[in-house]
Amino acid sequence: MADQSIILVVYGAIGAALFFDFVNGFHDAANSIATIVGTRVLRPIQAVGIAAAANFSGPFIFGTAVAATVGKGIIMPEFSTVDVIIAGLLGATAWDLITWWFGLPSSSSHALIGGLVGSALFAGGLQAIVAPGVEKTLTFMVVSPAMGFAVAGGFALAMMYFLRKKVPGRVNRVFGRLQIVSSAFFSLTHGANDGQKTMGIITALLIAGGLMHSKEFVVPLWVIISAASAIALGTFFGGWRIVKTMAFRLTNLKPYQGFCAETGGGAILTSMAWLGIPVSTTHAISGAIMGVGATKRFSAVRWGLGKRIIYAWVITIPASAAIAAACMWAIKALTG
């Protein structure tokens, strides 16, 4: 049985995990609502309300396979201590807040994984890392935006062909309604993918602190509800700096393009959630928005801004890892 001091530390760490989850939703609100706000189908407050409800529901519909991957597939179980996890969370949260301040849609998923890797490396070196899990994450860092670009762009081209003789005003009205559905669908998949990562972290904390004993990595119901609530609240209070970047600065979208971007991005996230692969919702929707924006003409996408976004993607894992390693050093210095 864990002693009282360990219990307090574990619950403090769970609080830090839920705060990260809130920041994740706050930071990634743009993923869920950017296209529907950019096409002016809904007002921002309406969009975030729908997105928050869908984010909460996602994990209950798509299961918790991603949670298991994050909880036991990034760092070795013997190095998955409370201190390592806390330092990883601090690194990820700090990087999310830094990129939010500059309005850059970086990946909260990769910030979390980078944070865990950085603190685990400091604690135990390379032997602390589950190499296949990290390699899978790095692979899909490239694959998910490329898939988003190709799937959503191809979908938009097909729509342009079938709608070429239709009256533009009628097309906008019909797809304005359909976009509400596609936006909710993407938010569901966002909650299923991003919300699960914190569930995995909290479950790992419970095991590391001796508060839960399980031969299999099973996420308790209260953890699912807590994490889903935190990311939903974060989405509702939305990080408008990033929403403006994604909704208005990257490209200008029509309702049918927003529908294609959300549906294409959501399809990718659905398949990854079922497979338990922790991909970045930011990468998927950013690639999808660029893909549909480029279908009319290549210059419709502001590629200069796109390059800045990609630079943020590239440095997210090493930057959050470095911050987490520094936090791990501070924790060790304070605890002796």
Q: What is the pLDDT tens value at each position of the chain, 336 positions in all?
A: 457 777 888 999 999 999 999 988 887 766 667 777 777 777 777 887 888 888 888 888 877 777 777 777 889 888 888 999 999 999 999 998 898 887 777 788 889 999 999 999 999 999 999 988 888 878 887 888 889 899 999 999 999 888 888 887 888 888 888 888 888 888 888 887 777 888 888 988 888 888 887 667 788 899 999 998 998 888 888 656 666 666 566 677 788 888 898 898 888 888 887 777 777 777 888 888 888 888 877 777 777 777 777 888 889 999 999 999 999 999 989 886
Angle, vertex CA 310, rays to CA 263 and CA 28, nearest 5 = 50
Distance CA 97, CA 313 (A): 15
Q: What is the pTM of this model?
A: 0.81
Residue 11 tokens read as 């619950």
| Torsion-angle region of 254 (φ positive above 0: left; ψ -120 to 50: alpha; else: beta) | beta
DSSP state, residue 53: H
Alpha carbon 282 to chain centroid distance?
A: 6
pLDDT given for residue 239 in this prediction:
58
Which residue's structure tokens are 């209070």? 237
How many Cβ atoms from other residues are within 10 Å of residue 4's Cβ?
A: 7
Among the residues of the chain, which ranges form H helices? Answer: 4-27, 29-38, 44-62, 65-72, 82-101, 108-124, 131-162, 168-208, 221-236, 240-244, 255-275, 281-293, 303-335
Q: Please give the C-alpha separations between residue 250 and each of 253, 257, 293, in angstroms, as whole numbers.
A: 10, 13, 9
pLDDT of residue 299: 75
Amino acid at 20: F
Length of the chain: 336
Considering Cα of 29, then 32, then 37, then 42, what sign does the dihedral take? negative
Residue identified by tokens 């849609």 is 105
Cβ proximity of 15 and 224 under 8 Å: no
Q: What is the pLDDT of residue 176?
A: 83
pLDDT in tens, 212-245: 876 677 888 999 999 989 988 888 886 566 666 6
Beta-bridged to residue 129, according to DSSP, are 75
Q: Which pLDDT score is estimated for 1?
A: 45
